[in-house]
Amino acid sequence: MSDVNKDLHTPGEGKLIEGEGYHSQFERTLGKFESFAVAFSFISITTGLFSTYGSMLASSGPVGIWTWPIVTLGTLLVALVFGLLASKIPLSGFSYQWASRLVNPVLGWWFGWASFAFLGIVTVAVDYGLAQVALFPLLGLNYTAAGGAVTTIALLIIQMVLVIWSTPILTKINNLAVGAEVIAIFGLIVAIGVAVLFLGKGNASNLVSTGLIHSPHYFGWLGPFMLSGLLGAFTLVGWESAANLAEETHNPKQVVPRAMVKAVLASGILGTLFLIVISLGLGDHVNELSKSSAPVADVIRLILGDTFSKVVLVVVCIAIFACGLVILTSNSRLIHAMARDGRLPFSQKLSYVPRPTGGPLWATLLAGAVSTLIVLSFYTNPDALTQLLGAATLFPAILYSGTVLLYIFTRHKHTHHPDDFSLGVWEWPVIIGACVWLVVEMCVFIIPADFRTAQWYVLILMLLGILVFIPVWLWRRKQLQKMPPLGSYPS
């Protein structure tokens, strides 16, 4: 093995990035906990559950919470497959890099564009969620479409400044937010659980109640019960952001795959317990709260009182803000990775990193600007959050399906090294299980008419990709056709 290859496969630091043909522009500041915190913060069960629980009540009723463990298991299998790729190609850009190196740069570009579109729209969905289901209730304000849009833009500006200014500061904020989120979720589970079990403030029948939904085909194929999968499918995404910060992580070949899997597992378990106690806490107000714009906040207020509710909402605001911050960071790293390979217009500007402990300047500004444009398109739409949730759920389902297929069809190119993350004899059972889950998920979000609006958003954003791809193909064809440096991977 050459010296470069030895360095590439030395666990930890070495010349990992140089071995892949790049000069490292970032400082490695993320350890095991920080990598886990990035994945956990992007998932952010408080963000997802506060944002989507109301939609689930309206579409499926409280019993819809039982799709959450199913989605958790399916997502865990997908995360394990992603871990195999993240270990072998530990670079910023995740699916973009994997497809570019395993197949060709054109396919990689489209993986990159789909990831960029997803991250752009989910940043908006999260910040909108912060405004609608946490910040406005905390301040006692009536939510309006214009107010939500203005608040979201303000949040985006603050997040852009933090991403550009300092990765260590960003990491500290995220670590604090993750710690606060875990404590808050545990506290709520215990407090509401005690109130329900010993003070008679809950109703156990809610766990099997369909609420406002009356359908003879409730549990049928693609019936209301299956549609409640949006709850988990929107929340349990983004764990792959740990792979997008691989170049800033110590020993990413081992740390990143485990961080992704642990984040999904921890979120799945905590989310299950939280959903149970919140659904119990609906008490006899299921129909009334199913029409609320912030039912989780309402349950906390009804069960625990206004003072405790406000304390919890402060923590929730911090957690959701950190979630949006991590998503914007991930998008900036993706843009930087594509620009570094000359795959975007103005690549020199977009790949510019002012200092190793900060974020890429113009890439972050572009990510923020695109999200701002999405906000402006929803400026007067009172149903913005629901529509954003649908689009932000369909995109990752498509990306996850494409990436798992990518691994299956390029598996023969993989050369195993002692420090690679491995599933051993469980690899094929995990892959088959992930495929089964992704087929079901794609059916849920493509066949029913409920997600037509989300599908249109995805289609429009992919068509916009053609407008970007054309100038890249015309003026950067050599860079687009050039395979990236491979180091020692694949063989």
Which pLDDT belongs to residue 74? 97
The CA distances from residue 484 to 138, 187, 206, 237, in Å, are 49, 48, 55, 28
Q: Does 477 reside within a domain?
A: yes
| Spatial separation of the C-alpha atoms in residues 448 and 211, rounded to whole Å | 21
Q: Does 16 reside within a domain?
A: no
| Spatial separation of the C-alpha atoms in residues 266 and 45, rounded to whole Å | 10
Q: Does 489 reside within a domain?
A: no
Q: Does 197 reside within a domain?
A: yes
CB of 91 closer than 8 Å to CB of 249 = no
Q: Does 487 reside within a domain?
A: no
pLDDT < 50 regions, the chain: 1-16, 487-491
Which pLDDT belongs to residue 488? 40
- Residue 380 has phi, psi (to 5 degrees) of -110, 15
Look at the alpha carbons of 389, 395, 401, 407 in this order and tell me if their dihedral is positive or negative.
Answer: negative
What is the CATH classification number for the domain harbouring 308?
Answer: 1.20.1740.10
Q: Domain residues for 144?
A: 27-481
| Spatial separation of the C-alpha atoms in residues 64 and 354, rounded to whole Å | 47
| Spatial separation of the C-alpha atoms in residues 73 and 486, rounded to whole Å | 33
Q: Does 22 reside within a domain?
A: no
Element (H, E) at 372: helix 361-377
HSE-CB at 40 with a 13 A cutoff on CA atoms is 28
| HEC secondary structure over 98-162 | HHHHHCCHHHHHHHHHHHHHHHHHHHHHHHHHHHHHHHHHHHCCCCCHHHHHHHHHHHHHHHHHH
| Spatial separation of the C-alpha atoms in residues 440 and 419, rounded to whole Å | 34
Which pLDDT belongs to residue 237? 92
CB of 82 closer than 8 Å to CB of 324 = no
Residue type, 224: P
Which pLDDT belongs to residue 484? 65
| DSSP assigned state of 249 | B
Residue 30's beta-bridge partner residues? Answer: 249
Domain count for the chain, please give it.
Answer: 1
Q: Does 11 reside within a domain?
A: no
pTM: 0.87
Which pLDDT belongs to residue 164? 94
Q: Does 491 reside within a domain?
A: no
| Spatial separation of the C-alpha atoms in residues 248 and 16, rounded to whole Å | 11
CB of 44 closer than 8 Å to CB of 320 = yes
